[in-house]
Structure 1
Amino acid sequence: MSEAPPYGALVGALMALVVAAFVASVTVGYAAVDVGGAVADIFAGRSSLGALVLTELRLPRAIMGTLVGFSLGLAGAAMQGLLRNPLADAGVIGVSGAAAFGAVMAFYSGVSATFALALPIGGILGAGLAVALLYALAGRGSATMTLILAGVAINSLAGALTALALNLSLNPYAAMEVMFWLMGSLADRSLSHVQLAAPLLVVGWLMILASGPALDALTLGEDTAASLGFDLGRVRLLLICGTALAVGASVAVTGAIGFVGLVIPHLLRPLVGGRPGRLLLVSGLGGAALVLGADIGVRLVGVRPELKLGVVTALIGAPFFLVLLWRLRREA
């Protein structure tokens, strides 16, 4: 078995990869833009076409891709560490489905037509409601299996309510718009979306990263982790609320972008020696690189209308998931 690379070198390499993908995301687009000239125009205060394309379209898209990818990769590693299940991701606790339902209700009620940020705000409220319902059902000091069952119930309920809203929609065009949004995309996102989601994402990241040592201890079992001085109820609260903030805000702004939190931790886990605490940061960076890379691929394909990012990540992640299931079955 090959030795894991030094942790600092791994983090540095992933950071360099994210920076390269970010620069490529700003550079690549449907129309040729002199990026250097556009940057000069921005600093000079000139409202050229290139400066507008950069600040209104490409830069918000690249920033949002980085933030959302980091959140999904980080949350996936956190859930796999908490539940000690390699098939877990943020959808297990019902946050993704509830955030999607909150955004759909903003569509369905017509509020999104009068208030530009109603859609992401609705998604964030849906994610918060999911966490409140999760703890109402399971309780703060509940066992891990109880949290999983409560999360599955919330996810099923949110999915059913979303389908009901689509079924009862009187406007077929509105229903189609909702379905396209649910597929996930970074297109047409503005700096207002970034400003709305970024504070919630950062708070969620800090809550998850603070739980790294406890996740390492949980690999020895819950009883051992408790004997080492970790308050498991507090750890679960930090991880679940942090995941709700990070994933809920992401889904609220970009729609559902699946499989990132499942694929990335599996690819990077051998490089950190299987330590869940160290996997958190590198999974976040890997998720950012994957989402940025997939979004660049969406633009390079040249299909019109543009392929949805969530569809592309599903095409990448679903075969990986099947291979993983087959491998786990053979090992069992």
Structure 2
Amino acid sequence: MTRTRTPRWMLIAALVALTLIAAVASLLYGPVDLSVARLIVAAGGHGDAIATTILFDLRLPRTLLALIVGAALGLSGAALQGYLRNPLAEPSVLGTSNAAALGGVAALYFGFAQMHPAALPLLAIGGALLSLALLFALAGRSESPLTLILAGIAVGTLAVAGTSLALNLSPNPFAAMEIMTWLLGSLENRSFQHVWIALPCVVIGMTMLLWNGRALDALTLGEDAAQALGVDIRRMRLRLLVGTAIAVGGAVAVSGAIGFIGLIVPHLIRPLTDRSPSAILLPSAIGGAALLTLADIGVRIIPTTNELKLGVVTAFLGVPVFLVHLMREKRLW
């Protein structure tokens, strides 16, 4: 007997509708609001120059990136929580996000980002893949989730130390400010070039993660039972980790470090499903796209002297999730 609270098709349809509403709102609202009529005319190529510039040069790339990055982070968090069987798992648990951020910081620190626009994204993706190699070297052949978490903590701590070192040795305050601004995470002033950098990585990574749905379901019965059902644990782990590294590396490469989406979204989705890992994967991807898009709208419309950084807003969103989980654990004690 299943425990499904909401039919899967209804849940996905509702999330898709929410995502579409968020995407349209992202195109409409900002420092300069556009009416629906003005947006439609501009989209058709017959609008005024200001509306056309706002739509195609500012709003549309930013909206697409919010959807792409949010989907990658939401799906990665759901997949890692299913594999590690830890409700607080997210990409930073394996050090992937921190290592990708370190790659971006290296591009800024050594001036590669000024030499070529693609340098920062490439180094961020390279950092994520390098962290994966280091993770395998530390974890070895062990298939224990605990070993993987401990190795990930070591990799993440090393990446954070490297980032702190770069800040400490910054040649001037302006260089340190540039690094800190990027680390806070933002989709401001992004172009279609960033979309084409992130999209292939996210598509490849998400495909590899979605491939693991049935294997993650079998893993809930235990590793021995999963192997008895024909699941190759090592291959599944390889697909999951490589998929996470590629997807998160591509996302961090264009957005900077944005945390907590991978933690929040699966927690919001899980009560609406039968709680099996495969049932959470696709809804988490769609929900992550919607949540990050809504958060990005928030940073634009909240009245502040300087636009809030997206990573700051998502960090505040993550606090209630930790508190709810803490209260639930206290009740179990």
Query: In the alignment, is the contact (CA less than 8 A) between 2:71 and 2:288 conserved in 1?
Result: yes
User: What is aligned with 2:23?
Assistant: 22
Deviation larger for 225-234 or 143-152: 143-152
CA distance in 2, matches of 1:44, 1:273: 46
Structure 1 residue matching 2:87: 3-state secondary structure: coil
CA distance in 2, matches of 1:34, 1:17: 20
Structure 2 residue matching 1:4: 3-state secondary structure: coil
User: What is aligned with 2:321?
Assistant: 320
Map 1:214-293 onto structure 2 (within 5 A): 214-293=215-294
User: What is aligned with 1:113?
Assistant: 114
Map 1:179-198 onto structure 2 (within 5 A): 179-198=180-199
5+ residue gaps in structure 2? Answer: none
Deviations 1:237-279 (A, max 9, x none): 1111111111111111111111111111111111111111110
User: What is aligned with 1:168?
Assistant: 169
CA distance in 1, matches of 2:175, 2:246: 27
CA distance in 2, matches of 1:318, 1:40: 41
Amino acid at match of 1:176: M
Deviations 1:261-299 (A, max 9, x none): 111111111111111111001111111111111111111
Query: In the alignment, is the contact (CA less than 8 A) between 2:143 and 2:233 conserved in 1?
Result: no
CA distance in 1, matches of 2:36, 2:170: 43
Identity of aligned residues (%): 52
User: What is aligned with 2:149?
Assistant: 148
The 3 A distance-change label for structure 1 pair 3 and 128 is: closer
Amino acid at match of 2:88: L
User: Following TM superposition, by how much is the alpha carbon of 1:151 offset from its aligned partner in structure 2, in angstroms?
Assistant: 0.7
Amino acid at match of 1:320: V
User: Following TM superposition, by how much is the alpha carbon of 1:40 offset from its aligned partner in structure 2, in angstroms?
Assistant: 3.4
CA distance in 2, matches of 1:294, 1:44: 29
Query: In the alignment, is the contact (CA less than 8 A) between 1:34 and 1:50 conserved in 2?
Result: no
User: What is aligned with 2:128?
Assistant: 127
CA distance in 2, matches of 1:175, 1:43: 43
The 3 A distance-change label for structure 1 pair 41 and 22 is: closer
CA distance in 2, matches of 1:35, 1:64: 21
Amino acid at match of 1:187: E
Q: CA RMSD in A?
A: 1.7
Amino acid at match of 1:315: F
Structure 2 residue matching 1:273: 3-state secondary structure: coil
Query: In the alignment, is the contact (CA less than 8 A) between 1:38 and 1:48 conserved in 2?
Result: no
User: What is aligned with 2:68?
Assistant: 67
CA distance in 2, matches of 1:313, 1:197: 20
Query: In the alignment, is the contact (CA less than 8 A) between 1:79 and 1:88 conserved in 2?
Result: yes
User: Following TM superposition, by how much is the alpha carbon of 1:43 offset from its aligned partner in structure 2, in angstroms?
Assistant: 3.9
Query: In the alignment, is the contact (CA less than 8 A) between 1:80 and 1:89 conserved in 2?
Result: yes
**Count, aligned residues:** 332
CA distance in 2, matches of 1:301, 1:254: 20
TM-score, normalised with respect to structure 2? 0.95
CA distance in 1, matches of 2:328, 2:58: 42
Structure 2 residue matching 1:207: 3-state secondary structure: helix
User: What is aligned with 1:213?
Assistant: 214
Map 1:298-317 onto structure 2 (within 5 A): 298-317=299-318
Amino acid at match of 2:215: A
Deviation larger for 192-201 or 23-32: 23-32
The 3 A distance-change label for structure 1 pair 170 and 17 is: same
Amino acid at match of 1:194: V
Deviation larger for 275-284 or 30-39: 30-39
Structure 2 residue matching 1:307: 3-state secondary structure: coil
5+ residue gaps in structure 1? Answer: none
Deviations 1:50-88 (A, max 9, x none): 111111100011000001111111011000000001111
Amino acid at match of 1:59: L
User: Following TM superposition, by how much is the alpha carbon of 1:2 offset from its aligned partner in structure 2, in angstroms?
Assistant: 8.2
User: Following TM superposition, by how much is the alpha carbon of 1:323 offset from its aligned partner in structure 2, in angstroms?
Assistant: 2.5
User: Following TM superposition, by how much is the alpha carbon of 1:199 offset from its aligned partner in structure 2, in angstroms?
Assistant: 0.3
Deviations 1:286-315 (A, max 9, x none): 111111111111111121210011111111
